[in-house]
Structure 1
């Protein structure tokens, strides 16, 4: 996979169709975002859903007005083509995956950009921790849980989490590091026994790729930005678009700008 140091170069490659892969490890130092795009009449309720569930849905930016495909706070962006891969939902059902949504765009669409765990992975790596999905070169494993999100209008559902394994001491350090990044999911929501949050088999994630756990390691779980996809399935808007799991919008915003000291 081609490695990009510049978010603008990565987005240009997405725009041209030359990059359609997982963005973990791309454009180091820059904030990566989960994406949700909805018709305007659904936007207010989805905003309330994000406000009620800041761990899985930390809002970073949104459209200034319906139909605006740019997100100026995040860079020179065309949201219709600058994500490597999109998922399209109709009436709550996933119908297709595509690399460009210009054919679906209308003057009624509103975009939400939410913080992504790929941003805090950099801080974990900088502290010398082994982030297994990065070292293995695969997408992080993600799982549906039994944890209820706070509902807002038609938006409701169970939380999705991402998992990274660590030895006990490293897990404690990961909690300390990620607490500084509430805008990109913050501290983990659970560590240890996955059955306590409704996960029956770590080897079969609902999204992403399974990863190897070493002897003595604990699974550590973070709230995940795929959670809105579950809420969309329940709300059933006539049309909704998200990023494909692991395929984020990479912004010009620096991870350091989100850190809370």
Structure 2
């Protein structure tokens, strides 16, 4: 058990049993909702699937941008299993909904990519901010997207990522509103989980990072921001989807924003300092 863990052995078993049951519902097509607020105690992951010819370049893109693209696992070419992240994870069916990109353009969404699977595909699992949401709630901080039963608000920004050979683009951020005092606490808490994007990259005036209308997210849903609150912005794992649009690989598969892969990794085991 991690020295940082606050979970008992029974709590750990219960958390894993819960997430594995939910993954089976997702695989059966019985759950296609956003995953914010579910999968108690476990890390969630963004997913990018690319042909091997493009995978090495994308790996460099992730290494160049570890805050937006914190790597959790990379599969072997052609393997649809992610044993590193959990028991019996089948990447072809265990995400609520997938985006299919062809030549950089979103062409379709589906709940199962088994019929599309190719033997040269490589899967990347990247950390997700839904993981630190559980830490914030555990510390007594309210999360507006969960309170309002909405997907988190996500925005394209003017913050450039560091280009690899073919992958480039600006950072996407997720936003959660807090009072100033709660924002400070949120910074301290999320900084302990760098594999889920870590501390915020901006707070306050959205226009400073190229967001001209906070009420119109590029992905997800708008949430209420009260007059005494600041919008707080974290790097987001949707950033690679912008890079895919720019790089234009012949085919790429990602999760639909907000609909993540639930892993067997416990959040408490990933905390730092």
TM-score normalised by the shorter chain: which range applies? over 0.9
Q: Which runs of 4+ in 1 moved over 2 A?
A: none
What RMSD over aligned residues (CA atoms) do the two structures have, in Å?
A: 0.9
1:147 to 159, 163, 178: 159
Q: TM-score, normalised by structure 2?
A: 0.93
Residue 12 of structure 1 corresponds to 24
Counterparts of 1:5 and 1:228 in 2: how far apart (Å)? 31
Contact preservation (8 Å) 1:207, 1:245: yes
Residue 263 of structure 2 corresponds to 251
Q: CA deviation at 1:5?
A: 6.9
Partner of 2:84: helix, strand, or coil?
helix
Counterparts of 2:236 and 2:84 in 1: how far apart (Å)? 22
Counterparts of 1:160 and 1:104 in 2: how far apart (Å)? 28
Q: CA deviation at 1:73?
A: 1.3
Contact preservation (8 Å) 1:84, 1:248: yes
Residue 80 of structure 2 corresponds to 69
Contact preservation (8 Å) 1:11, 1:82: yes
Which 5+ residue runs of structure 2 have no aligned equivalent? 1-15
Residue 137 of structure 1 corresponds to 149
Residue 198 of structure 1 corresponds to 210
Residue 185 of structure 2 corresponds to 173
Residue 240 of structure 2 corresponds to 228
Counterparts of 2:256 and 2:232 in 1: how far apart (Å)? 22
Contact preservation (8 Å) 1:37, 1:112: yes
Counterparts of 1:55 and 1:71 in 2: how far apart (Å)? 22
Residue 37 of structure 1 corresponds to 49
Count residues with an aligned counterpart: 257
Q: CA deviation at 1:258?
A: 1.1
Residue 122 of structure 1 corresponds to 134
Q: TM-score, normalised by structure 1?
A: 0.97
